[in-house]
Amino acid sequence: MEDFKVSARKYRPASFDMVVGQETITNTLKNAIRNKHLAQAYLFCGPRGVGKTTCARIFAKSINCTNPREDAEPCNECESCKSFNDHRSFNIHELDAASNNKADDIRSLTEQVRIPPQIGRYSVYIIDEVHMLSSTAFNAFLKTLEEPPAHAVFILATTEKHKIIPTILSRCQIYDFSRIKTDDIVSRLKFVAQNESINADDEALHTVAAKSDGALRDALSIFDQLVSLCGTTITYRNVIENLNVLDYEYYFRIINGAINGDISSVLLLFNDILEKGFDGHNFISGLNSHIRNLLVCKDAATVKLLEAAPAVKKQYLGQTAECPVVFLLNALETGNTCDLNYKLSKNARLHVELALIKICKIQAECSEKKKPDVKTVQGEENTAEAAASPQPVKNENAAPAENIPENRQPARTEKPAKTFSIKNLMNSNAEVAPVNAGAGVKNDTQEEKTPDTGKTELTEAGLNAAWNEFTGKLAGEGTRIVSMLKTTRIEMPDNKTVRLYLDNTDQEDTFIHNYRQRLAAFLERKFILNDVEIETVVEQAGQGNMLYSDEQKYSYLASRYPMLQDMKRTFGLDIN
């Protein structure tokens, strides 16, 4: 019975041309060999299973070949190549730094480096997982790595370059190996399957390549596992059952349901997925990848970023035609947020279900946004009319305040009052109050009018009660001017005048522009008005709503609490 050898070893590349997915690195190494520009130390770094140790062995074999080909590939016919192929070469030394990571191990290596090779030109030392060396071992290795004997070449391999100290990095030529593309892995798997007389469909091999995450060695290991399960025929169904991979058809069906807003079918599909034993986190991660694939299919220039079998690519192109870009972007953002917060959720299933419901609602919300908003249009028209209406002109000529003693309040000075007839306001269309910026607020002129029956004559008491009711209605608007209006004095100096005392011209302009029309309409509904006018008076300094200076505040407190003056003198305090 012939001994079984795993595919990763059986089909390990023996020349640079057979290395998969690292053409840039292999071409550089071949040029160095051809031009005889060899460094004393190389560092091969990159993910697992991408060919670091394989390239190191081929490089060691090539530089010792006595009859290399024109393309710098080994001849496989000389004694050096034959001894290498039979694993009996004394020119190549491999060391596992994970188990030989002490300074004494490196000192033994440096002693061994002094011995020249018996056959061939170079002694090549391949140190795998070099990042596992201790700090003292790295320091013991520095001098030998910088100035080795002429016959010594070091090749260091690692998956974690960031753990290697900078002094080692500066002494090496660094080659970064990349993950192998899915198509390259699929091509290699097809080659192995053909040599082993195994039938495997494209979808199955693409699933194996995607599962390997860019590592060819992992892909070959999975392939051997599938051969043990399925025999000489490998199907997509066998692959997803054996590797516990969710069928991509679920993702297509979920997106179709989300586009149609069918929340029930999407939640039932998710329940079916959970019952099959799949993890919710893996599902949402796979759904994000599916949406990403749909997004890259939107543009012909990015379709090449999709790594899938030809038959699956057709499905992606068909579904992406039905998905708007806005839907895909919002769905991807929702799915990514769910992925990030999954581990923080105490109810993981509900967390995913909420994300699926939001994705199902995206299309409907986008359709609603496209419909014109009648209220918004009307609001814009009213705002435009208000902007076109003439604005009141500010009167900057205010009477100067008198000089007063420190403990006395200043006398009140008033600007000339601005008067407006309520009858003219109600009958004139010259000015229309603009729509308030607060959402959900409507003008009093737009409120349902009460019948004229029950009106009374306007009196001082009735005016104060009406003013409190009016400002109470404005309280819900939440603006700063509304809170000031609640404390504004209002009075009737005579039967034909309603007078408001405001603190400054800004308040006066705001009241005239936004609230004067509403107050006139409010009073018109409640009282019988005969040519009553509304006056606005600006109080720059008065007994009502005035602002006190720091000196005035201190003088008032000091008159009531004499000890405050003693405290100021004792501690040398300022009023400010």
Residues 70/105, Cβ–Cβ less than 8 Å: no
In single-letter form, the type of residue at position 375 comes to K
| Pairing verdict, β 418-421 and 533-538 | antiparallel
Structure tokens at 164: 């290697």
Query: 45 has which bridge partners?
Result: 158, 176
* Long-range contact set of residues 93-98: C-beta below 8 Å, sequence gap at least 24: 93/123, 93/124, 93/125, 93/126, 94/126, 94/127, 94/128, 95/125, 95/126, 95/127, 95/128, 96/128, 96/129, 97/127, 97/128, 97/129, 97/130, 97/131, 97/132, 97/133, 98/128, 98/129, 98/132
Which residue, among 420, 433, 419, 427, has the nearest Cα to 389 in the 3D structure? 433
Query: 233 has which bridge partners?
Result: 199
Which residue, among 482, 438, 463, has the nearest Cα to 532 in the 3D structure? 463
Residue 397: Cβ within 10 Å count: 7
What's the rounded Cα separation, in Å, for the pair 188 and 222? 13
In single-letter form, the type of residue at position 220 comes to L
What's the rounded Cα separation, in Å, for the pair 133 and 141? 10
Phi and psi based region of residue 409 (left: phi greater than 0; alpha: psi -120 to 50; beta: remaining): beta
* pLDDT number for residue 555: 80
Which residue, among 5, 29, 6, has the nearest Cα to 16 in the 3D structure? 29
In single-letter form, the type of residue at position 349 comes to R
pTM above 0.75, yes or no: no
Residue 446: Cβ within 10 Å count: 12
Residue 472: Cβ within 10 Å count: 10
* pLDDT number for residue 540: 57
Phi and psi based region of residue 214 (left: phi greater than 0; alpha: psi -120 to 50; beta: remaining): left
Task: Write down the residue that tokens 């004694």 correspond to.
Answer: 79
N-terminal to C-terminal alpha carbon distance within the chain: 100
Task: Going residue by residue through the chain, which has 576 residues, state the pLDDT in tens, using 9 for 90 and above.
Answer: 357 788 888 888 888 888 888 889 999 999 998 888 888 899 999 988 888 999 999 998 888 888 888 888 888 888 888 888 888 888 888 888 888 888 888 888 888 888 888 777 888 999 998 999 888 889 888 888 888 888 899 999 999 989 899 989 998 999 999 998 888 899 999 999 998 888 888 888 888 888 888 888 889 999 988 888 888 888 888 888 888 788 888 999 999 999 988 999 999 999 999 988 888 998 999 999 999 999 999 888 888 888 888 888 888 988 888 888 899 999 999 999 999 999 888 899 999 999 999 999 988 887 776 665 545 445 555 544 544 444 444 444 444 433 434 444 443 444 456 666 666 655 554 444 444 434 444 444 444 444 445 677 778 888 888 888 888 777 666 566 666 777 778 888 887 788 888 877 777 777 787 788 888 888 888 787 777 788 888 875 444 445 566 777 778 788 777 888 888 888 777 776
Residues 551/406, Cβ–Cβ less than 8 Å: yes
Q: Which domains does the chain have, with CATH numbers?
A: 7-176 (3.40.50.300), 182-243 (1.10.8.60), 248-370 (1.20.272.10), 418-538 (no CATH)
* pLDDT number for residue 416: 54
Residues 363/258, Cβ–Cβ less than 8 Å: yes
